[in-house]
Structure 1
Amino acid sequence: MIKVFYLLAFAAGMGSVAPSYSASLPALSYTTETKGPVPIPPSERTLQTITAQPYFKVSDKGLQLEGAVFDLQGDLRFVDVFGDRVYRLTRDLKLTSFATPPGFAPAGLAVHKDGRLFIAGLGNFKDSGGIIATKADGSDVETIIPPSAGFLVDDLDFDAKGGFYFTDFRGNTSDPKGGVLYVSPDGKTITPVLPNLAVANGVAIGPDGKTLWADELSAGALHKVELSDATTIAPFGTSIPYHFIGPAPDSMRVDSDGNVYVAIYGQGRILVFNSTGIPIGQILIPGRETGHNLRSTSMAFRPGTNELLILASDAQGGQGCSIYHVTAFAKGASTFAHP
């Protein structure tokens, strides 16, 4: 009985003692480098860094812009994914557009040597994407890859022979069923080149015509592939030279020095890699440090120059969607399908 009394008294005494707090405890605090929704990772803070300048306000709405490319007339083309539209911005900043088929969800563009626009679409985002080709004004629609093929086509890039690579946007990190495929110049054969990717997104051919670059949106990986021919990987020809931190690699372009520019969707910036896949620079979109204009998706080199135009959207952040520009390391690589 005495033991019970002392145990109860001890328990009651412990319950009445408030926990102590000392101001001398080690404390975490935000710094200028870590504050904000998308801080630049420590390993990338020492890269050469520039901030893009505004070039053109596309809309006050946060449209999902993608697929930047210049056509044979020297006009900038790009798409609005959820608006089913293809835009044309002339050098004197006049903006026009035409509609794709309803529900096509255009996501990527490439220009054939005959001037036709090849438009990649995500369809229902499950199994009904494809590619159509149109004249420059959107007329004479031709199906290149039908929805029945089952791909989600996100991006594409022509090679020197007139064939093209495209990315299949399917899968996730536990079910990587997307990849990079090649369509022969006659359009009759589709050959898998780099399968088993988790939401393959950007794709580009290096200026040597033998280096294929691609990235995975979900897995956050940059792939470098050395090719023996258009559909054959050279022995020991694959590598993953870089893993991205945070969201998420999107479209890419290459310059004449072989550098690779990758848009980071969700971070408002572009990472630049040299021809071996080592990061050498980055481009920031204005407003990113406060959470604006984070949907940086795509970019294009003005033909014959090192002016790089970048698409970015603020989504629901209130600042709409715009085009920005910078001077890149080198001139854009020649578009192989052009004359």
Structure 2
Amino acid sequence: MRRLPVRSLAVLATVGTLALTGCGTETAGGGAPATAAAGRTIRAHQVMRLTEVHAETGMTLLEGPTFDENGDLLVVDVTAPAGEPKVMRVDVRRKTSKAVHTDDRGAYTSAQFSPYDGRLYLTDYAHGEIVSLAPDGSDPRTFFSGEVDGAGMNPDDIAFDKEGNLYVSDSRGLSTGDAHGRVVRIERDGKKSTVLAEGLAPVNGISFDADYQGLWISELTQDRISYLRLDGAGTVTSRHTAIRVDGGIAQTDSIAVDADGNLYQALHGRAAMIVYNKHGERLATVEIPAGTKGLESATNVAITPGGTKAYMTVSGPGGGYLYTFDALGKGIRQSNGG
């Protein structure tokens, strides 16, 4: 995270200062430049306001939208102080929400349900941990903490493979600007961790492609989306810069992928998302209505499983909101937060 005003969460240096930010790294391959004029505009519409700026932290930052098996949407508030809801369950039809979980230390930047045990997994960026909850928010457990290859993590987003192993974007280096970002694989039992890629700018978004053949990752400080091809054992066999995002003052945040393989790239520093196909062609820009005040970042999106209704988390000095739009493809697991 960076400092105030809110920056999409690539970084949360400490819970006390609550700075926000993100990352990137140079690799082989040229990458396809995206022209600002390409694609059409999709207008997102407000669903509801979920949070206001917290007096204790001076901000609010919604992230990690993910649907549970009942069709409710769970959302995290990265900067919520102790006692305030850090995980919320939203009934998007009734436009109501209720607290699911809070604690006195976590700074949770993403949420994902595991296909292996059905629990909700949260990344605690500030403390380098991954925490899991029962679907109703009870039974909190520390799933993973400590160093990976001699260095602690700043875990940002999660992607699960079909077997329930975790692939985590590690935003190390965000506070210094150094290329210490990594992609880390953690076995589904939490007992073994492996660095799959390193020497990256701080990594923020991470998602499998539609066929689980590789990972899309966004390097926030470089406005770059890279592609990591995987073998059957989950090992990276190649890596290249796939898309260079023309974000202006905005930076690349979380990533989601729909059933057609399209990428939804969230923007930190602009309340919008850019949609690309897998070949790097810019298909559309998702924007909130022109003239909307107080909203600065669109951090993430979840697309209804099997449908095209998408819900985007948007935050800024005006509060934390949910916006909705019609996605270009149907929702799958890779469309469900991150």
Shorter-chain TM band? 0.7 to 0.9
Q: Select which of 166, 184, 187 maps to 1:181.
A: 184
Question: Would the alpha carbon gap of residues 42 and 148 (structure 1) be closer, same or farther in structure 2, given more than 3 Å must change?
Answer: closer
Tell me what 1:301 maps to.
303
Tell me what 2:222 maps to.
219
State the Cα distance separating 1:116 from its structure 2 match. Answer: 1.1
AA matched with 2:278: S
**1:88-103 alignment runs, 5 A limit:** 88-90=89-91, 91-103=93-105
Distance 1:295 1:162 in 2: 30
Q: What secondary structure, in the 3-state scheme, does the structure 2 residue paired with 1:44 have?
A: coil
Distance 2:34 2:166 in 1: 37
State the Cα distance separating 1:100 from its structure 2 match. Answer: 3.7
State the Cα distance separating 1:117 from its structure 2 match. Answer: 0.6
Q: What secondary structure, in the 3-state scheme, does the structure 1 residue paired with 2:321 have?
A: strand
Q: Does 1:257 align with 2:260?
A: yes
Question: Is the contact between residue 222 and residue 243 of structure 1 (CA under 8 Å) also seen in structure 2?
Answer: yes
Distance 1:42 1:175 in 2: 25
Distance 1:79 1:174 in 2: 26
Tell me what 1:164 maps to.
166
Distance 2:34 2:308 in 1: 28
Distance 1:240 1:198 in 2: 15
State the Cα distance separating 1:88 from its structure 2 match. Answer: 0.5
State the Cα distance separating 1:148 from its structure 2 match. Answer: 5.8
Tell me what 1:76 maps to.
73
Distance 2:38 2:186 in 1: 40
State the Cα distance separating 1:52 from its structure 2 match. Answer: 0.4
Question: Is the contact between residue 72 and residue 115 of structure 1 (CA under 8 Å) also seen in structure 2?
Answer: no
Question: Is the contact between residue 163 and residue 182 of structure 1 (CA under 8 Å) also seen in structure 2?
Answer: yes
Question: Would the alpha carbon gap of residues 336 and 280 (structure 1) be closer, same or farther in structure 2, given more than 3 Å must change?
Answer: closer
Tell me what 1:30 maps to.
none
Question: Would the alpha carbon gap of residues 48 and 180 (structure 1) be closer, same or farther in structure 2, given more than 3 Å must change?
Answer: same
- Give deviations 1:266-290, integer Å, cap 9, x for gaps: 1111011101222211101224x56
Distance 1:324 1:277 in 2: 25
Question: Is the contact between residue 206 and residue 254 of structure 1 (CA under 8 Å) also seen in structure 2?
Answer: yes
Q: What secondary structure, in the 3-state scheme, does the structure 2 residue paired with 1:270 have?
A: strand
Q: What secondary structure, in the 3-state scheme, does the structure 2 residue paired with 1:218 have?
A: helix
**1:29-40 alignment runs, 5 A limit:** none
Tell me what 1:122 maps to.
125
**1:299-338 alignment runs, 5 A limit:** 299-315=301-317, 319-334=318-333
Q: Select which of 167, 175, 194 maps to 1:191.
A: 194
Tell me what 1:33 maps to.
none
Tell me what 1:87 maps to.
88
Q: Does 1:52 align with 2:44?
A: yes
- Give deviations 1:57-96, integer Å, cap 9, x for gaps: 2134352101111112211011111115001002422211
Distance 1:336 1:143 in 2: 25
State the Cα distance separating 1:42 from its structure 2 match. Answer: 9.5
Distance 1:82 1:212 in 2: 28
Question: Would the alpha carbon gap of residues 230 and 291 (structure 1) be closer, same or farther in structure 2, given more than 3 Å must change?
Answer: farther
Q: Does 1:142 align with 2:141?
A: yes
Q: RMSD of the TM alignment (CA)? A: 2.3
Question: Is the contact between residue 209 and residue 334 of structure 2 (CA under 8 Å) also seen in structure 1?
Answer: no
AA matched with 1:104: G
Distance 2:302 2:120 in 1: 15
Question: Would the alpha carbon gap of residues 74 and 179 (structure 1) be closer, same or farther in structure 2, given more than 3 Å must change?
Answer: same
Instruction: State the structure with bigger RCO (CA 8 A, min sep 6), 1 or 2.
Output: 2
State the Cα distance separating 1:335 from its structure 2 match. Answer: 5.3
Distance 1:224 1:163 in 2: 19
AA matched with 1:71: D
Aligned length: 288
Q: Select which of 193, 201, 207 maps to 2:210.
A: 207
AA matched with 1:144: F
Q: Which runs of 5+ in 1 are unaligned?
A: 1-40
Higher helix share: 1
TM-score scaled to structure 1, two decimals?
0.79
Tell me what 1:269 maps to.
272
Tell me what 1:5 maps to.
none
- Give deviations 1:96-121, integer Å, cap 9, x for gaps: 11334322100001002333110111
AA matched with 2:128: G
Alignment identity in percent? 31
Q: Which runs of 5+ in 2 are unaligned?
A: 1-32, 54-58
Question: Would the alpha carbon gap of residues 192 and 95 (structure 1) be closer, same or farther in structure 2, given more than 3 Å must change?
Answer: same
TM-score scaled to structure 2, two decimals?
0.79
Question: Is the contact between residue 242 and residue 278 of structure 1 (CA under 8 Å) also seen in structure 2?
Answer: no
State the Cα distance separating 1:294 from its structure 2 match. Answer: 1.6
Question: Is the contact between residue 47 and residue 279 of structure 1 (CA under 8 Å) also seen in structure 2?
Answer: yes
